[in-house]
Amino acid sequence: MGEENGAGHRPVMVAEVIEYLAPAKGKVIVDGTLGAGGHAEAIAARISPSGRLIGLDRDPQALAAARQRLGKVPAQVSYHRENFRDIQSVLGGEGLEKVDGVLLDLGLSSMQVDDPARGFSFRQDGPLDMRMGPDAPRSAEEIVNEDSEDELARIIYNYGDERWARRIAHFIIEARERRPIRTTQELSKVVEDAVPVSARRGRKHPARKTFQALRIAVNDELDDLREGIANSVECLAPSGRIVVLSYQSHEDRIVKRTFNSLAKGSDYPPGTPLYEEPVLEVLTRRPVTPSEEEQENNPRSRSAKLRAAMKKSET
């Protein structure tokens, strides 16, 4: 989410989000990944005073931060500790069937990364957790200490694009046979030992891709994204818009393929028909990326890609 809590809060690509989401007075907008409320604050300013903002987040700490930030906005705001894939049930509880826009800002917020107790960072020592919310059934510690070598290699390779996945999985198995791997620094050291010295030159931290892969597995992020986009599109009113900010190649591919599929009326995933007729118009043929100035001022925005689409009018 590229956000920071409190005064240092820096939501990513706010101007671009507003441009493509097009919030206006009286509209109903869903922020499916509320975070600390940075994007929501900008949206609320444009839909006030008669608009409604529906905020979802799996993380109770994020919801608390958003409540504090948005406490004085004039728009009507509601908060739900829910996964954005469950948007339809949330809107049903709000007495709504259709909305004018949906924003999904994927990935982690700065307050999650910077809190060692959450276990997301390989640079700080903390429990090996990585759960975005209490709904995640397993922690990273459980996966690392319980899954087979083949399954660990699959997770690290598929979700992290890590060429040394098999070797890292083997080192993890050897390490946990000596004693369970409980902390982020313990895992980081195992991964660093597994990656050959010659392969570390010019690379980012050798544990980066493994931590990314485990976080995706813990939170079932890619399946959530596929289902969440389809469900969000279903909830859009004609000419309603969906904007997705992604930070990893896996995420961006899913967004691109799903948008293109719904724009062509084809099936996605392959073999699973979603709609007989095209339901979307893609607004971004190529992903929109942050300006050089934003990348310089907010390094966590550098990998961000924005894609947007609009619901076709019903015929």
Q: Could you state, in chain order, the average pLDDT of each consecutive group of 10 residues for the chain (315 residues)?
A: 48 96 97 94 95 95 92 90 96 96 86 76 90 89 98 96 96 97 96 87 82 94 93 96 94 94 71 70 96 90 95 78
CA 42-46-52 angle, 5° bins: 95
Alpha-carbon distance of 53 to 67, in angstroms, equals 12
Q: Say if 39 falls within a structural domain.
A: yes
261 and 305 belong to one structural domain: yes
Task: Return the beta strands (E) in 190-279 as ranges.
Answer: 236-246
Q: Is 246 helix (H, G, I), strand (E, B) or coil?
A: strand
Please report whether residue 121 resides in a domain: no
Tell me: do 81 and 229 sit in the same domain.
yes
Domain final residue, candidates 200, 219, 238: 219
Does residue 90 lie within any of the structural domains? yes
Full residue range of the structural domain in which residue 280 is found = 6-111+221-311
Asked if residue 246 lies in contact with residue 255, where contact means CB atoms within 8 angstroms, the answer is yes
The pLDDT score that the predictor gives to residue 7 is: 39
Count Cα neighbours of 180 within 13 Å in the Cβ-side half-sphere: 11
Q: What local confidence, expressed as pLDDT, does residue 225 receive?
A: 94
Cα 271 to Cα 266, 274, 303, distances in angstroms: 9, 9, 31
Q: Is the domain of 215 the same as that of 252?
A: no
Amino acid at position 20, single letter? Y
Domain for residue 130, yes or no?
Answer: no
How many C-alpha atoms does 42 have within 13 Å on its Cβ side?
Answer: 18
For residues 196 and 232, membership in a common domain is answered with no
Model pLDDT, residue 283 = 97
Q: Is residue 235 part of a domain?
A: yes
Domain boundary among 180, 202, 219: 219
- Please name which of 24, 26, 40 lies closest in space to residue 103, comparing C-alpha atoms: 40
Q: How many CB atoms lie within 10 A of CB 283?
A: 18
Q: Do 207 and 252 belong together in one domain?
A: no
Residues 196 and 241 in one domain: no
Last residue in a domain, options 173, 203, 219: 219
| Residue 27 located in a structural domain | yes
Same domain, 205 and 234: no
Residues 106 and 13 in one domain: yes
Residues 175 and 188 grouped into a single domain: yes
Same domain, 19 and 82: yes
For residues 70 and 147, membership in a common domain is answered with no
Domain count, the chain: 2
Do residues 99 and 15 both lie within one domain? yes
CATH classification of the domain holding 182: 1.10.150.170
pLDDT value of position 110: 67
What was the pLDDT predicted at 269? Answer: 54
What per-residue confidence (pLDDT) applies to 72? 85
